[in-house]
Amino acid sequence: MPASHGDKKSALDLGRLLLGNPPCMPSCRIHLTNPNLARLLQNSPDKPQDWLTAAPALFVLLWSTGFIGSQYGMPYAEPFTFTAIRMAVVVAILLLVSVGMQAPWPRDWKTAGHFAIAGLLVHATYLSGVLYAITLALPLGYVALIAGLQPVLTAFAARWLFDEKLRASQWLGMALGLAGVLLVIIGNSAGGELRVAALAAAAIALLGITSGTLYQKRFCQNMDLRTGGVIQFAATGAVLFVLALGFETRAVVWVPQFVFAIFWLAVVLSLGAISLLYLMIRAGAATRVASLFFLTPSVTALMAYLLFQQSLTWMDI
């Protein structure tokens, strides 16, 4: 059945928003013309949207490029400084979108606090762990592999917190994914290729993204992605800036490669991939969404091999 004009308009508006562009601008003021898109951004939709069928594949692709973007930008700034600048760019974009679209803000400080905590877990803890693991020379494929353990942790926690149940085939798939991660890590550790500190940083990132996903599912179901994003990324940026003041020189080499990495990570990852993640969490079970992280290590390892000539074996894939 061909898509209706309204469906095409919703998809176009959503795509523009995730890329950081306003859906329409008839004058100096931005107006949200599609009520279906407004409901999607503000609250959980009543039924799955057609675009969700393509969302998982798009999310895996976008999320995998995050490790690549970090590798591009890391030579020019220290981890906390690098991520704080990225957060500042994201906050500026989302603040303009929120004001222009007259997006609703949280009704009370408690709700805003929940948004901030979820942001600190998903962004500050996860990103800091990933960047420090990369700084300590942990190959990108292995960083993604450790982060790929998230589905296993999420499955156990979601069963207890949300009473989500998995079929035997799903548990088998997760067990095989876990076994693959352990084989790669143990094999490279035996050859002396991996450092304990780098693995610890990646493990911290894993705990951050797992707990953040569950917290988002539990306390932030009705978060508007525009104003809620401002709160989450602002809280993350503030914490990272304080850490940069205390532990880093804050020196930045402003070269085109660094600027490209910042804007790629800010727009494509922080706005695009994170928005897709939150929308999928709203529309489905936390465990099913988290299982997508099993797919990112192979994609990341292949990208790292093509772009940075990092080693790639059949075991890694």
pLDDT digits (tens, 9 = 90+) for 242-264: 999 998 999 999 999 999 999 98
Distances in whole angstroms, Cα of residue 272 to Cα of each of 74, 91, 189, 254: 21, 14, 35, 24
d(CA 118, CA 216): 6
Interatomic CA distance for residues 146 and 133, integer angstroms: 11
pLDDT at 22: 41
Residue type, 171: W
When comparing pLDDT for 213 and 262, which is higher?
A: 262
Instruction: Answer yes or no: are the C-beta atoms of 265 and 86 closer than 8 Å.
Output: yes
Query: What is the pLDDT at residue 65?
Result: 80
9-13, 64-68, 74-78: which has the highest mean pLDDT?
74-78
Token duo for residue 96? 């303009």
Asked whether 14 and 276 are in contact (CB, 8 A), the reply is: no
Taking the C-alpha atoms of residue 93 and residue 86, their distance in angstroms, rounded to an integer, is 11
pLDDT for res 17: 40
Choice between 302 and 123, residue whose per-residue pLDDT is larger: 123
Q: Kindly indicate the confidence band of residue 173, based on its pLDDT and cuts at 50, 70 and 90.
A: low
pLDDT band (50, 70, 90) for residue 96: very high
The reported pLDDT for the residue numbered 73 is 87
Token pair for 316: 């890694």
Nearest CA to 85 out of 278, 236, 291, 246 is that of: 236
Q: What kind and span of H or E run contains 316?
A: none
pLDDT in tens, 29-52: 334 444 544 554 555 444 445 556
Task: Report the phi/psi class of residue 255: left, alpha or beta, with left for phi > 0 and alpha for psi in -120 to 50.
Answer: beta
First to last CA, the chain: 38
> pLDDT at position 299, please?
63
Residue whose tokens read 């990324």: 233
**pLDDT above 70: percentage of residues in the chain:** 58
pLDDT digits (tens, 9 = 90+) for 117-168: 999 998 899 888 888 888 888 876 677 777 777 767 777 776 666 666 656 6
On whether the CB atoms of residues 280 and 55 are closer than 8 A, the answer is: yes
Q: How many CB atoms lie within 10 A of CB 295?
A: 20
Question: Whose CA is closest to 14, among 250, 194, 279?
Answer: 279
CA atoms of 248 and 257, how far apart (whole Å): 21
Q: Identify which of 110, 108, 119 has the alpha carbon closest to the alpha carbon of residue 215.
A: 119
